[in-house]
Amino acid sequence: MSCDISVIIPSYNSSDKIPRCLAALDEQQTGASFEIIVVDSSEDGTGETLERREEIRLIRSEGRVFPGTARNRGAGAASGLILAFVDADCIPSPQWVQRIWEARPDLSNTLVGGCVANGTPESSIGSAEYFSELSALLPGSPQREVDFLPAANISVGASLFREVGGFKDYEKGSDVTLGKDCREKGIQPVLHPEIVVAHINRTDFKGFARNQERLGWGAGNNRVLYDLPGSWLAKFPPGWPLVPAVRFARIAYRSFRDGSGQRVRVLKALPFIFLGTLFFGCGFARGALEARRALSSVSAG
């Protein structure tokens, strides 16, 4: 049976996070009809727990799949006019679904996303991850056109999504390439600040550092393989040592500029943000190098 909006959630070992996401969806204040589709490839028992929840449609995978692939599988089973993507570690605001319905990305030919609030404000490491990844989407940001939007909080018309071919099968960075693919099809990504989710960030340094390194790997790898903002730097090895400094300056500037009411928290998080950019830079260089070698191998073959 069709509905207005299909909410799609990729899940991997999210037993400690996805219950809060689903609880927030249960409490949505909206006149739009919506379904919840969870695509799970967990190894921690999350799938077995979700099988007992009648309010969701569960798609299970025997082996782990990357988030982009999970989202595509959910989209393939969706019946909604609009596909709304949120991550298992996010908590949608009470009017999240309604604000997406009012934005109607299926009619406006847009890829719509919103702001992200800090779900771990009491932790300096959690705040460091938050500002490191989401400084461009702080609550209170103005509505504007952007190059891409994080897949943790985006929506698009179902037919438009299928027209661009969905997400790429990447561990990191599939949302960046989706933004590029949408722009090439004339579908403009637009930030709507009233569409808000809170992100539950990692609060242990090891997990934070590992994630920053993987984000850097995806950024470097994708920018060698595809024409994305910053591709010139990924293709210019002498510039790779500059990546941590450039990233740190950008994060700090955005966080202080747009983080009204959070500037003390930004200051406390700065040492961890700086360390995170070093891990990001190492990952960026490794990802760019691996992509260059892969391209060379293809050319040689």
Q: What is the pLDDT of residues 130-167, one digit of tens each?
A: 999 999 899 988 899 988 888 899 999 999 999 999 98
Domain ranges of the chain: 3-114+149-199, 205-300
Architecture of 3-114+149-199 per CATH? Alpha-Beta Complex (3.90)
User: pTM for this structure?
Assistant: 0.88
What value does the mean pLDDT take over residues 74-89?
A: 96
What would the DSSP string read from start to end of the chain?
--EEEEEEEEESS-TTTHHHHHHHHHT---SS-EEEEEEE--SSSHHHHHTT-TTSEEEE-SS---HHHHHHHHHHH--EEEEEEE-TTEEE-TTHHHHHHHH-HHHHTEEEE--EEES-TT-HHHHHHHHHHHGGG-TTPPPEE-S---TTEEEEEHHHHHHHT---S-SS-HHHHHHHHHHHTT-EEEE-TTS-EEE----SHHHHHHHHHHHHHHHHHHHHHS--TTHHHHT-GGGGGGHHHHHHHHHHHHHHHH-TT-HHHHHHHHHHHHHHHHHHHHHHHHHHHHHHHHHHHHHH-
- Residue 24 pLDDT exceeds 80: yes
List, in sequence order, every residue forming a beta bridge with 67; answer none if it has no partner. none
Strand order across the beta sheet in which 110-113 lies: 57-60, 34-40, 3-11, 80-86, 153-157, 110-113, 188-191, 144-145
Q: How far apart are CA 149 and CA 272, in angstroms?
A: 24
Read off the tokens for 203. Answer: 């609060």
Which of 65-69, 97-101, 192-196, 200-204 shows the lowest mean pLDDT across its residues? 65-69
Which of 154-158, 258-262, 283-287 shows the lowest mean pLDDT across its residues? 258-262
* Percentage of the chain modeled with pLDDT above 70: 98
- Residue 70 pLDDT exceeds 80: yes
What would the DSSP string read from start to end of 145-207?
E-S---TTEEEEEHHHHHHHT---S-SS-HHHHHHHHHHHTT-EEEE-TTS-EEE----SHHH
Q: How far apart are CA 257 and CA 273, in angstroms?
A: 16
Q: Are 288 and 220 in contact (CB under 8 A)?
A: yes
